[in-house]
Amino acid sequence: MTERRCILLDVPLTAANDSEAHIIPSALGGRLKPRGILSDAANGELNDKFDLPLVSALAPFMALLGGSRDRGENQPIEMTDRAGNKYRVVFGKPLQPAQPEFSKNEISSGMVTYQISARTFKETRTLFGRIKKDHPNFDIEAAMQRAAVRQWYLDEMIGHRVQIGPIVTFPAAFVMASVYAAHHRLAAYPSFRGYVQGFDPDAPSLPPDTFYWSPPQQWVRADGDTEVSHILALISDAKRRQALFYAELFNLLGVAVVLPYEQPNDICQCQSYGLDVISGKEVSVVVDCQMLRSLDWKPTHRLGEINFIKEMRERMERIMAVAVQRSRYHELSRIAQEVLGPTTGRPRTKDDAQKLTNRITEFLARLLPRGNEQREAL
């Protein structure tokens, strides 16, 4: 059996140091994690230099979509309204202020008032402890009994700025290309080791042969009715002695990497991997390898192009439309659960139906004036 060696550190891989090579980071829903490619130390280096910046840039889509992870939960993202107020947002959970509020006001008569806004009862108790330091006779337990949970809908849009330019996506795609190629028993990019070892996350350099690649037709696409997907594809061409790696995360604009390809007997490969971001299930990918081999493997867009900006905006709008629709459906389900209670038990009455109708009508009425605002906020 041929000895497997780490493609980054060139050390033998053993049961003690072999690791799972998440080609798409787990925090973004990635589940393809072959072994026999990277040592633990190499995996940690790639994670720190390339995965973490990519996760930081794209995790907001996981939070808003409620994307499925193989382990752990999606972390909230911070969104801001027009007045500068900040909120923590994650799919399926109530909106929360980013920070608790605690204010102390002295009244001229010598009295002091406190105003507290907390996100949890535990946080409320902690803030009450600050009051007790100034007023030892303050009864925290009695105050906790009077604390009330308040829920309301925001009356304005909130937003979040996403940074997904080439400084983040190109290095990550370059690493994905070499790891995915190794997964299919092909060589990594020749300068893979030198690029990774010399890479400085604080002053990132763009990798070679990596570019935006979005042909006019979808010759690489997820099959079926998948709303939001991750796609990886590797198409080799023995005649031109190259392989094209293509990565498309969250259906955003694709990034390609061209790798040297050395295989005897004119052997060509066409490998692909697809993942439904919301369900976490693997999906088949349709790849027109013959057509792709007939195309020029060169950049289709440059940063700043009007067409590039327009296409990126359209794709992000589609993702946000899915997120908004899922969020609305979840809220309607929550309203039904709150009004009707468990599905088992007493029979439903006309009064239940009327209460549910009123609550749903109230919720939908709040959405009517927001259609244009949502589009403008993207």
Q: Say yes or no: 235 and 181 in one domain.
A: yes
Helix axis angle for 166-183 and 52-65, nearest 10°, is 100
Co-location of 328 and 240 in the same domain: no
Report how many domains make up the chain: 3
C-alpha closest to that of 189 among 204, 200, 174 = 174
Residues 171 and 243 in one domain: yes
pLDDT at res. 374? 44
Residue 50 domain-assigned (yes or no): yes
* Rounded Cα–Cα distance for residues 342 and 211 (Å): 53
The one-letter amino acid code at 14 reads: T
Residue 302 makes CB contacts below 8 A (sequence gap 6+) with: 212, 308
**Sign of the C-alpha dihedral, residues 275, 276, 277, 278?**
negative
What order of strands is seen across the sheet that includes strand 282-283?
A: 210-212, 255-260, 242-248, 229-237, 270-276, 282-283
Q: Decide: 133 and 104 in contact? Cβ < 8 Å.
A: no
Q: Is 73 within the bounds of a domain?
A: no
Asked if 59 and 188 sit in the same domain, the reply is yes
pLDDT tens sequence for the chain (378 residues): 578 999 999 999 999 999 999 999 999 999 999 999 999 999 999 999 999 999 999 999 999 999 999 888 998 889 888 888 888 888 888 888 888 889 888 877 778 888 888 888 899 999 999 999 989 999 999 999 988 887 777 777 787 887 788 999 999 999 999 999 999 999 999 999 999 999 999 999 999 999 999 888 889 999 888 999 999 999 999 888 999 999 999 999 899 999 998 876 666 789 999 999 999 999 999 999 999 999 999 998 887 788 888 888 899 999 999 998 999 888 888 888 888 877 666 677 888 888 888 888 887 777 765 544 444 333
> Is the domain of 93 the same as that of 127?
yes
Domain boundary among 96, 130, 158: 158
Which residues, other chains included, contact 312 with Cβ-Cβ below 8 Å and sequence gap of 6+?
Answer: 252, 253
Query: Is 115 inside any structural domain?
Result: yes
What's the confidence (pLDDT) of residue 212? 93
**Integer Cα distance of 280 and 232 in angstroms:** 15
How confident is the model at residue 286, as a pLDDT? 94
Work out the burial of residue 192: count CB atoms within 10 Å of its CB; fewer than 13 is exposed, 13-18 middle, 19 or more buried. Answer: buried
Domain that holds residue 126: 81-158
pLDDT given for residue 345 in this prediction = 65
For residues 212 and 257, membership in a common domain is answered with: yes
Q: Can you give the pLDDT at residue 368?
A: 64
Domain annotation covers residue 369 = yes
Same structural domain for residues 195 and 225? yes
In a domain, 154, yes or no: yes
Question: What pLDDT is recorded for position 343?
Answer: 62
In a domain, 5, yes or no: no
| Other beta carbons less than 10 A from residue 87's beta carbon | 18
Residue 169 and residue 187 in one domain: yes
The contacts of residue 346 (CB under 8 Å, 6+ apart) are none
Q: What is the dihedral of CA 26, 30, 33, 37, to 10 degrees?
A: -80
Asked whether residue 300 is assigned to any structural domain, the reply reads no
Q: How far apart are CA 312 and CA 248, in angstroms?
A: 12
To the nearest 10 degrees (0 to 180), the angle between helices 350-367 and 306-340 is 160
Identify the three-state secondary structure at position 113: strand
The answer to whether 265 and 212 are in contact (CB under 8 A) is no
Q: Which helix (H) or strand (E) holds 243?
A: strand 242-248
CA gap 179, 241 in Å, rounded: 19
Q: What's this model's pTM, rounded to 2 decimal places?
A: 0.84
Listed residues 158, 192, 219: the one ending a domain: 158
Compute CA distances 362 → 153, 230, 268, 368, whole Å: 11, 37, 59, 11
At residue 370, the pLDDT reads 52
Q: Are residues 193 and 248 in the same domain?
A: yes
Is there a domain that residue 243 lies in?
yes
The reply to whether 222 and 340 lie within a common domain is no
Q: Quick one: 88 and 64 in the same domain?
A: no
Residue finishing a domain among 293, 317, 347? 293
In this structure, are 288 and 143 located in the same domain?
no
Cβ(173)–Cβ(25) below 8 Å: no
Relative to beta strand 282-283, strand 270-276 is antiparallel
